[in-house]
Amino acid sequence: MIKDIFVMGLEAMKSYKIRTFLTLIGVIIGVASVIMVTTAGGSVSSFIAEQWNVFNPTGMVIGTGTGGATPQLSIRSVVFTTNDVEKIQNLPYVKTVAPLGVVPLNKILKRDGFLKWESRPGDIMYASTPALLEILNLNLEEGTMFEEGKNEVVISKNVAEVFGKDKPLHVGDMIYLRRVDSKTLEAKVVGILKESSTANMFNALSTPGIICPTKPYYSSYFGSNVGTILKRVVAYTVLLAEATDTKNVQNAQDQILKYLDSGGSDANQYKDQNSDFVVITQQYILVRIEQVLSVIRTYITAIALISLLIGAIGIANIMFATVTERTREIGTMMAIGAKRRDILQLFLYQSTIIGLLGGLIGCILGASGSWFVVDLLNKNIQNLGGAFSTGTIQLAYAPEWFLIASIVGILIGIAAGVLPARKAAKMDPVVALRYE
């Protein structure tokens, strides 16, 4: 008998095709938007987290800025000396440390017979030590690392193609680097970096990337020196470091800060009195990003849930209208033997079917919609160029949300149908039969 009443409900819905369809749309949009928001949101989250996966889990960046609970790095002044690098390297919980000096370039040039190509201006070269490769998880595809004091550089794949894909640079090629102070320095390409599968600092901060030894490229640059006229020393803006293992990231951080804040560090002497030393760990970066992303996710999920609620109100509204419109039919059914439970079921099935159908169609639409959204985002990312053009957002469906959205769809169907169905079931058959 339940099956018969279910079929009756289905047939009634078939008779009111447009009405059923419009009500369905409300639920479909609600469920689809929940799926789309959670899928696209999840996909973008993992993409962004990956983009900021700059270091190993043990990695950290040391600089100056504002300390406290939410430390902020401001890459302005050069404060860390070679002496500081050595001292930090000797701390027990520090595995490796590498300095990072910024050498802004105007142009990259190459002589090829009589021809000379120039790259676009605005590229940045980083002065460091071979330890940098380990900290940033970079590998050489060919060649070797540069030697300190020699005119040698290591370049990224992007730089290798800076003169065109058809004229790539090779290990052994000579290039000329024109700094922003107009000084042009000769450099031999000794190594080319392997394109890293995940994003790293070098394609995140600057494309293309060139890594050079401090001497001669950075030490002769006017922006690299601190101290008095009598005693000028080369110093770096930031240091990159790795803790010995993931358990000791906090210990390494504490030790580094303790050293820097002590009177024994050069950096303490050179830093601006108003700024603090700041150590930002990879773990902290990821935690912060996750915090920001979860706020955004919560916000858009709330919006999607609101549209689901609107779908529910749509069902309730249409069911009330249907119940009122069919009052005399309800009276007739009661007169010919329908129990209150039968009437209740009849209307509840209809709203449940709408919720179920809407949930299923919404899931399918939401799944294809999120594919479309992620595809669109990826196209926009490619157009953005620069920092983020290296990655693509991977579509990451969250299966639990399909289940949640379908169940919520059905529940909404039931919940929205309960009141109208009860109204129908509670009718006085005498009054209902007289209804015009």
Partner 1 sequence: MSEYVIDINSLTKIYQTGKTDFKALNNVTLKIRKGDFVAIMGPSGSGKSTLMNIIGCLDRPTSGTVIIDGENISIVSDNELAEIRGRKIGFIFQKFNLIPTMTALKNIALPMVFLGGTKADRDQRAAELLGKVGLTNWATHRPSELSGGQQQRIAIARALSNNPSIILADEPTGNLDTKTGEQIMELLVALNKEGKTILLVTHAIALKRFANRVINMLDGEVSEES
Residues lying near partner 1 in the complex (CB under 8 A):
1, 4-5, 8, 11-12, 14-16, 328-329, 331-342, 429-430, 433
Closer residue to partner 1 (CB): 16 or 371 = 16
Quick one: which H or E segment has residue 89? helix 82-89
Tokens representing residue 36 in the block: 């789309």
Closer residue to partner 1 (CB): 153 or 432 = 432
Closer residue to partner 1 (CB): 195 or 342 = 342
Neighbours of 18 (CB within 10 A): 7
Distance CA 142, CA 412 (A): 61
Closer residue to partner 1 (CB): 350 or 390 = 350
Distance CA 221, CA 409 (A): 65
Say whether the peptide bond before residue 216 is cis (omega within 30 degrees of 0). Answer: yes
CB of 47 to partner 1, least distance (A): 51
Closer residue to partner 1 (CB): 334 or 356 = 334
CB of 435 to partner 1, least distance (A): 11
CB of 311 to partner 1, least distance (A): 24
Helices assigned H by DSSP within 221-339: 249-261, 266-270, 282-325, 327-335
**Cα within 13 Å of Cα(108), Cβ side:** 27
Closer residue to partner 1 (CB): 173 or 329 = 329
CA Rg value for the chain: 33
Closer residue to partner 1 (CB): 148 or 428 = 428
Angle, alpha carbons 419-425-427 (nearest 5°): 105
CA quadruple 167, 168, 174, 180: dihedral positive or negative? Answer: positive
**Cβ within 8 Å of residue 196, ≥6 positions away:** 137, 138, 139, 203
Tokens representing residue 218 in the block: 């950075």
Closer residue to partner 1 (CB): 16 or 176 = 16
Distance CA 365, CA 359 (A): 10
Closer residue to partner 1 (CB): 235 or 425 = 425
**Cα within 13 Å of Cα(423), Cβ side:** 16
Distance CA 309, CA 315 (A): 10
CB of 11 to partner 1, least distance (A): 6
CB of 32 to partner 1, least distance (A): 30
CB of 336 to partner 1, least distance (A): 4
Tokens representing residue 321 in the block: 């209208």
Say whether the peptide bond before residue 213 is cis (omega within 30 degrees of 0). Answer: no
